[in-house]
Structure formats: C-alpha cells, structure tokens
C-alpha cells in the first residue's frame, strides 16, 4: 500500500496578506515537504531496512491544523532558540525587555519568532528550497534587525539545512535552529522511547523548575543523561534523575555541550530505531544540542492533532536541536551569542540517514 502524502491543496492560503503553500523536494533516497509558514518540515520519507518508505517526522494535515497545533513542530526557530529568563537581558550597558510567551520567560524568539512567520520563497527546485525571512525590532521586540536566508537541500540520503543571518541596526542575541519531531519507526508509531540514542557530549546544563539554566555544566557520568554510548530513552528514563522530574511527565528537555570545534561541522548525535532499522546521524556547527524527549505531548486536541488522523501523545517523538546555549545573554559561563551590526552568521545542520 502506498504511503499517504500530505495534500498541497490543504496548505494553500494567505496569512496577513502573504501566500502560504506546501513545497516538495526529492532526491534519490529521500522525499520531503515543507510549509513556508515557519519554514517548517512536515514530511520526511526515508526507506527502512527493507526498502519500504516511512515518514519519520511528525506534522500536520493542513494549514488550519498547523495554526492550531504545536507552533514548534518542524519549524525553523529564531531569533533566539530556547529560553531567555524573565524575558530580559543587558547588552552594551543597556537593559532590554523582550515579549514573554512562556509565563514571564521568552521562548523561541517570543510570540513573533520565526515559527509564527511566513517566509518568502526565493527558489524551488526538485531537490532544494530557498526561503527568506526578516525579523525587525519593531515586530519582535529584540534590538536590531535580522535578515535570514535558508536553504533546505536533499542530497542522496542527506537533508541539509544551511542558513545565513545578516544583522543590521543594533547588536542582538542570535540563536537559530530547526525543530523536527522525529520518530524513525514512522510518524504514526505510538512511541519513540525504544529508539537508541547517542549524544557526543560529556556535560549537560541543569535547569530550574521553569527550565531556565542554573548557570553551570554538570557531568553526565553515571547519570540518566549519559548517552555517550547508545542506549534507549526508556532505559535512561528508568534510571531516573531529579532533573527529569521537572514537569508533569518525566522527560528530557536539556542542553548538552557538544565536543566539536567552535563553528566547525561535527557529529552531535546518532539515533536508531530498532524496528525500522533507520539510523539518523546529526551533524551541526553549534556549541550546544538541545535534547527534548517529547514528554509534554498529551494528546489534547487541537494542539496535538497530527497527520492522517493521528493524535500525538507523550513520547511519540523526540527533538535534537543544534543551537547556542539557552539564556546565554544572562549566563556569563556560556559562550557569547551576541552579534554586531554588519555580522553575517552562517550555520549548517545535516541529517544523514542510513539503515
């Protein structure tokens, strides 16, 4: 039986006068579908160990469902991925307050971050899609303006995201990432907890009850956070840790310090599904990797309505988000995330698939 695909007609619309649609890419090994609202990945079809296609990312059936669902699902995140404590920071001797959208805190760029924006389509070919977006201080409340150019590209069994951000007007904190929700058994599988995960890191960032960093690094040695050797999420959760008890359902939502040289592409994580045999290797050039185990998905509608009638529940997928460190503008031990006017920030994320 053929794998059901998203209907492009279901994503045609206009938001604040800007055209929205669904854009398909294909290579020799992969197929993908993106919506330019949030520059989001909604479908990624990968062959399993038997050569059968599986859609390995969670997503939505329509533009209407997308607007009512989880705003991070599959989206490109900016201008600041993760959290900024109390929605404020100091820069150049001046105090800034940005819009809050998670209690008193600013999450993923606030209520006007990129996941809520329509990107302009610059180029669409069989294997690549170029998108343009602009973040202005007048719209999102951060200092300075940022012009972003993204390119999604399929090369054989690789999905590559390259981005370039140009800062003008004033210095600003900047942290950009992609936020796919992966289940390598298929988006309609009940759970990703039996996936085997390896994270190439010796340290993670402990957080407080609001998931704000406590300002130091902790060793993963002999803890539930130790994924230096592959093991299942279920095994790690069973080991237990006080940091896993933050929230109503135990789970991971923590940053890891990656081992690679600053600014250079390096492997950050590997993920394998025992049923499908699909392996994902994540490469990026960021100093941090956020690992989210999907605990907060609770099946409530319409927020967790998924593709083809599926309802997404706790542990149905996981996220691996290469980025700058959370709350870095307020954390003196973390590398600086501040970009100056005239800076051009380039980044690259590669999802490499095999069986």
Please report, to the nearest 10 degrees, the dihedral formed by the alpha carbons of residues 331, 334, 340, 345 taken in order: -140
Q: Which residues are catalytic?
A: 179, 321
Strands (E), 209-296: 218-219, 231-232, 253-258, 266-272, 279-284, 288-292
Burial string for 255-271 (b: 16+ CB within 10 Å, else e) reads bbbbebeeeeebbbbbb
Q: How many helices (H) and strands (E) does the chain have?
A: 3, 28
Q: Residue 147: name the closest of 176, 183, 126, 190 by CA.
A: 176
Q: Residue 355: name the closest of 53, 69, 8 by CA.
A: 53
Rg (CA), the chain: 19
Say if residues 232 and 197 touch (Cβ distance below 8 Å): yes
Q: Could you give phi then psi for residue 308, rounded to 5 degrees? A: 55, 40
Strands 344-354 and 288-292: unpaired
Cα 337 to Cα 10, 168, 195, 218, distances in angstroms: 38, 15, 32, 21
Distance CA 15, CA 35 (A): 13
């Amino acid at each position: 039986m053929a794998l059901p695909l998203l209907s492009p007609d279901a994503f045609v619309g206009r938001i604040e006068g800007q055209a929205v649609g669904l854009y398909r890419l294909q290579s020799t090994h992969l197929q993908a579908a993106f919506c330019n609202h949030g520059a989001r990945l909604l479908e990624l079809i990968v062959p399993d160990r038997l050569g059968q296609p599986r859609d390995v990312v969670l997503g939505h059936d329509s533009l209407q469902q997308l607007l009512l669902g989880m705003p991070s699902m599959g989206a490109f995140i900016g201008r600041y991925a993760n959290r900024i404590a109390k929605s404020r920071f100091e820069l150049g001797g001046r105090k800034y307050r940005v819009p809050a959208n998670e209690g008193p805190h600013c999450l993923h760029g606030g209520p006007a971050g990129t996941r809520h924006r329509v990107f302009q389509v610059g180029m669409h070919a069989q294997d690549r899609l170029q998108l343009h977006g602009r973040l202005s201080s007048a719209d999102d409340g951060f200092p300075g303006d940022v012009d972003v150019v993204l390119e999604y590209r399929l090369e054989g069994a690789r999905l590559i995201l390259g981005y370039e951000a140009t800062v003008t007007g004033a210095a600003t904190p900047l942290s950009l990432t992609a936020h796919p929700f992966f289940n390598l058994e298929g988006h309609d599988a009940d759970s990703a907890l039996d996936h085997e995960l390896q994270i190439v890191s010796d340290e993670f960032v402990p957080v407080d009850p609001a998931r704000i960093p406590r300002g130091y690094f902790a060793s993963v040695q002999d803890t539930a956070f130790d994924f230096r050797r592959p093991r299942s999420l279920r095994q790690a959760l069973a080991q237990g840790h006080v940091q896993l008890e933050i929230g109503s359902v135990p789970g991971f939502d923590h940053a890891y310090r990656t081992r690679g040289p600053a600014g250079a592409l390096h492997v950050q994580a590997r993920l394998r599904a025992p049923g499908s045999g699909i392996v994902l290797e994540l490469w990026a050039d960021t100093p941090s990797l956020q690992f989210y185990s999907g605990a907060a998905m609770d099946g409530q509608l319409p927020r967790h309505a998924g593709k083809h009638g599926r309802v997404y529940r706790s542990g149905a997928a996981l996220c691996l988000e290469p980025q700058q460190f959370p709350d870095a503008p307020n954390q003196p031990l973390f590398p600086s995330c501040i970009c100056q006017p005239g800076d051009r920030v380039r980044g690259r994320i590669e999802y490499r698939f095999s069986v």
